[in-house]
Amino acid sequence: MTKTLQQVIEQKNEQGEKAFIPYIMAGDEGLTHTKETIRYLQQLGATAIEVGIPFSDPVADGPVIEKAGLRALAEGTNLRTILAMLEEIKEDVQTPVILMTYLNPLVHFGLQDFVKAATKAKVKGLIIPDMPLEECDIIQPFLEGTDIALVQLVSLTSSKARIQEIAEAAEGFIYAVTVNGTTGEQRDFQDHVMQHLKEIKSLVSLPVLAGFGISNRQTAEKMSEGIDGVIVGSAIVDALHRKDYDTIEQFFQKEPVETNS
Amino acid sequence: MVTTTEKKGRFGKFGGQFVPETLMTALNELEQAYEEARQDPSFQEELQDYLHNYVGRENPLYFAKRLSEHLGGPKIYFKREDLNHTGAHKINNALGQVLLAKRMGKKKVVAETGAGQHGVATATVCALFDMECVIFMGREDVKRQELNVFRMELLGATVQPVDSGSATLKDACNEAMRYWVTNVEDTHYILGSALGPHPFPTIVRDFQRIIGDETRRQILEKEQRLPDAVVACVGGGSNAIGMFTPFVEDENVRLYGVEAAGHGIATGEHAAAFADLKEGVLHGSYMYLLQDDHGMVQEAISISAGLDYPGVGPEHCYLHDIGRVEYKSATDEDALEGFKLLSKIEGIIPALETSHAISFASKLAKEMTKNEIMVICLSGRGDKDVAQVRDALGGRVHD
């Protein structure tokens, strides 16, 4: 059965729109603030909301998200309190919530217990950046029969054969990493990246969303061409931290922005 | 009995490849290149040649007569890794891996370092083979080991201080992994301990097992029998795994790994992952890992910069669980005693890391008899630690 996360993205695409998934760090400025932020992003029309679980050693993340994570940890945030917060708002938040977490907090929590708690909190997707295809079986058996989609990442270094293999196991959507590097790394996205994204799209049937280093509306638009949407993390986390809501709202504008703005 | 291959790169349930997808292709390439190199006589010949003529192997298995008499227990032998070029066992692995990197056509090398010994060893082999070299080192360790920083720079390496987290070894590992992800196409990561994602724990073990292979041959020559006990210090565990591997099948040889107990296990301020036995995932590997009640990795605490890693190599975790190796610990204070003891009695100033093994071995010796034989891996020399030990002792050797 197709999981909710995939359905929601496909519905968005059927309406002729690209999916847009903002990432926020749970507990940055406290979980009450996170609750408000989730409602705010739902109101703006986010396709889904990626909620980051803070971790002491976030090797896949760049400085913006790492610092947000440390702020969240300093607030006393942890996986247990985050799941409790999500459970509190599950009735009034219809936008699917995806958890992005390193594996260790889950291992410590107990993988099976985590899946139970996440199901109860209506979590619809799971992204684990330090768990490649080869290691998925550590959690996959517990996810069977749930509505939590295990999202898989593919990178610029993934071969064609590997992309196909990953797509076999993937649920929800394919997360295409657009840089060799950490989150928030801004590079000039060269044509080969666009080419790579189109190739991924041609190889898989799931929706394909690009992420890592997409820092503004223009890049988001450019990256979405030929695929199904984008994920924006560091730029959102940074803007939230600076209370720069204009930057956030720009990502959601229906009309294309002028390139000379 | 010991090498399990239920799943690729696993030692029982430990090990694995818990890394971002971007690194998977590089890990698969590395695995394949290593497999080919391992079976290529010309690679092995070149490695042996450098180990002999450049590193100075084989190094002695030295009978420590005075220490044996002083402790009144078994005959104690030291495997003298401290006599290697650059002063520790780290060069065995760095040399092997740089040859591998060269073979793979990589132009740059990145590495992490704690005490600086692995950084110096890596910078050394990069100088030797004209490779660009970047070393990540925690800001705290840069302070504790400033001479090693200067050494690395003399050797042509760029040393990048790391301010994130606890600014020690684990944070240096984080940064080295991030650098590798970003530069994966032309860069090889020379991981310095028997840690990290597969195939690193296997590669590091294989390049370090020369310690145990030589020891086994040498003790048979000298004593016509195997030792009763073998002792090595364990941070990530590379000298220990190198020393233990050739003895693992010899069930009468007792094996002891000694972790750093820092201020004491009971204080919670230590680096002994086997004291807590909490399973976790860090830097690509499933292993025992120091962490808090919410799965945040804890800062490891030890006087020795080379042992303050919160995890422990996956093969050690397995050897622990099957009961083949016993893991013990020694506090900062114990280590300082070991450091002084060996300096005074044998005229050998050991590394602080090694001093943990010496401290435990001194206790173990009291439970052993004169007919028995103990081997201690003297993994490194203590020149790098002299200034720090002077400060720790308040500038005075005698109370």
Tell the burial category of B77 from Cβ atoms under 10 Å away from its Cβ (0-12, 13-18, 19+): buried
Q: Which residues contact B35 (CB under 8 A, 6 or more apart)?
A: none
Q: What is the pLDDT of residue B143?
A: 85
HEC-encoded secondary structure of B88-107: ECHHHHHHHHHHHHHHCCCC
> Could you report the per-residue pLDDT of B86-112, keeping only the tens digit for each?
999 999 999 999 999 999 999 999 999
CA–CA separation, A254 and A256 (whole Å): 6
Q: Which residue of A has its CA nearest to B183?
A: A180
A63, A172, B80 from A155: Cα distances, Å: 20, 17, 45
pLDDT-based confidence at residue B2 (cuts at 50, 70, 90): very low
Is the Cβ–Cβ distance between A183 and A62 less than 8 Å? yes
Q: What is the pLDDT of residue A260?
A: 46
Q: What is the ipTM of this complex?
A: 0.95
* Tokens linked to B189: 């990561």
Query: Does A135 reach chain B within 8 Å, measured CB to CB?
Result: yes
pLDDT-based confidence at residue B169 (cuts at 50, 70, 90): confident
> Could you report the per-residue pLDDT of B337-350, keeping only the tens digit for each?
999 999 999 999 99
Cis peptide before B58 (omega within 30 of 0): yes
Q: Which entry of A17, A28, A50, A185 is annotated as an active-site residue?
A: A50
Minimal CA–CA distance to B275: which of B201, B313, B328, B230? B328
Q: What is the pLDDT of residue B6?
A: 60
**Phi and psi based region of residue A150 (left: phi greater than 0; alpha: psi -120 to 50; beta: remaining):** beta
A114, A119, B150, B166, B170 from A101: Cα distances, Å: 12, 16, 38, 21, 19
Q: Is A50 designated active site?
A: yes
- Find the mean pLDDT for residues A183-202: 84
* Tokens linked to B110: 């990145």
Q: Min CA distance, A27 vs chain B (Å)?
A: 14
Q: Min CA distance, B301 vs chain A (Å)?
A: 16
Helix intervals (H) in chain A:
4-14, 31-44, 63-74, 79-89, 103-109, 111-120, 140-143, 160-169, 191-203, 217-224, 234-242, 245-252
pLDDT-based confidence at residue A189 (cuts at 50, 70, 90): low
The H or E element containing residue A127 is: strand A123-127
* Tokens linked to A154: 């593919």
> Could you report the per-residue pLDDT of B365-381, keeping only the tens digit for each?
999 999 999 999 999 99
Q: Which entry of A14, A29, A61, A75 is annotated as an active-site residue?
A: A61
Strand partners, B256: B231, B326
In this complex, do B17 and A135 lie within 8 Å of one another by their Cβ atoms? yes
Residue contacts between A and B (CB atoms, under 8 Å): 118
* Axis crossing angle, helix B169-182 with helix B21-38, rounded to the nearest 10: 90
Query: Does A161 reach chain B within 8 Å, measured CB to CB?
Result: no
> Could you report the per-residue pLDDT of A112-126, keeping only the tens digit for each?
999 999 999 999 999
